[in-house]
């Protein structure tokens, strides 16, 4: 009788163990996705995108792989390859957003990498949101992205929100407006903060050289000679 009781208790114990392990795994999967972004530039620099602009300012964007992992990976890949260096902000609408990421500057170009599947999420398009541009096809995002000047909640769940500006929003506000702008602002360098690239500044404007004078100056012959 005692042997049977011990065997039964052991069987119950073994049967219960996987259930607890499964519960733990489910708890880990169900961990909440962060709604807020971390503005501390010293933390997780591998998920901070830096944009050095031709207006002499630097923008820091916190990338959120918890929101859109494939889009974040694409942005980092292109930035590290130098894809964005020299690209203009080709569509900048006052009170709305500034769009970039097309090497042709027309709004129709992209990278040679395949288009991305949409990763729409519930995170709102507030001031400073960075989101992926796309064509009519929801799965056509490739390299172009935009930064929102003011909240635009009509974009929620329609465009993939993958990050937010955490420093240098004044630089975004200073981007030249237009579609395209007459004198567009450029990304001089896009880099990932963990790569520790120094800020790239715009080349100094050449100092105008004064044209040589064509006026003939009479020779100073001094005082007349005296005998």
- With a CB cutoff of 8 Å and minimum separation 6, the contacts of 53 are 59, 171, 174, 175, 185, 186, 187, 188
Mean of per-residue pLDDT scores for the chain: 86
Q: Please, are residues 189 and 102 in contact by the beta-carbon 8 Å criterion?
A: no
pLDDT-derived band of residue 168, with 50, 70 and 90 as boundaries?
very high
Please state whether beta strands 129-132 and 97-100 pair in parallel, antiparallel, or not at all (unpaired): unpaired
pLDDT-derived band of residue 224, with 50, 70 and 90 as boundaries?
low
More confident: 217 or 81: 81
pLDDT digits (tens, 9 = 90+) for 93-149: 999 999 999 999 999 999 999 999 999 999 999 999 999 999 999 999 999 999 999
Distance CA 184, CA 198 (A): 23
pLDDT-derived band of residue 6, with 50, 70 and 90 as boundaries?
very low
Distance CA 112, CA 192 (A): 21
Q: Please, are residues 116 and 135 in contact by the beta-carbon 8 Å criterion?
A: no
User: Structure tokens of 69?
Assistant: 């992992």
Q: State in words which class domain 45-195 has.
A: mainly beta
Distance CA 21, CA 148 (A): 44
Least confident of 18-22, 50-54, 93-97, 195-199: 18-22
Side-by-side strand order, sheet with 161-167:
89-93, 97-100, 145-148, 129-132, 161-167, 58-63, 48-53, 187-192
Give the mean pLDDT of 182-205.
95
């Amino acid at each position: 009788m005692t042997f049977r009781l011990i065997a039964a208790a052991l069987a119950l114990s073994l049967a219960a163990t996987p259930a607890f392990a499964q519960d733990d795994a489910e708890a880990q999967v169900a961990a909440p996705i962060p709604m807020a972004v971390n503005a501390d530039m010293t933390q997780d620099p591998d998920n901070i995108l830096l944009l050095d602009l031709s207006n002499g300012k630097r923008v820091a964007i916190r990338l959120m792989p918890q929101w859109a992992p494939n889009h974040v990976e694409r942005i980092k890949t292109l930035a590290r390859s130098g894809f964005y260096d020299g690209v203009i902000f080709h569509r900048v609408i006052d009170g709305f957003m500034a769009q970039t990421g097309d090497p042709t500057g027309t709004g129709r170009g992209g990278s040679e990498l395949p288009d991305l599947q949409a990763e729409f999420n519930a995170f709102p398009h507030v001031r400073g949101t960075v989101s992926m541009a796309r064509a009519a096809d929801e799965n056509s995002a490739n390299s172009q992205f935009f930064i929102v000047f003011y909240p635009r909640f009509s974009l929620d769940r329609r465009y993939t929100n993958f990050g937010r500006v955490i420093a240098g929003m004044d630089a975004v506000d200073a981007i030249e407006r237009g579609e395209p702008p007459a004198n567009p602002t450029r990304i001089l360098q896009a880099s990932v903060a963990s790569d520790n690239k120094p800020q790239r500044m715009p080349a100094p404007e050449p100092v105008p050289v004064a044209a040589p004078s064509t006026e003939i100056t009479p020779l100073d012959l001094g005082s007349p000679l005296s005998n």
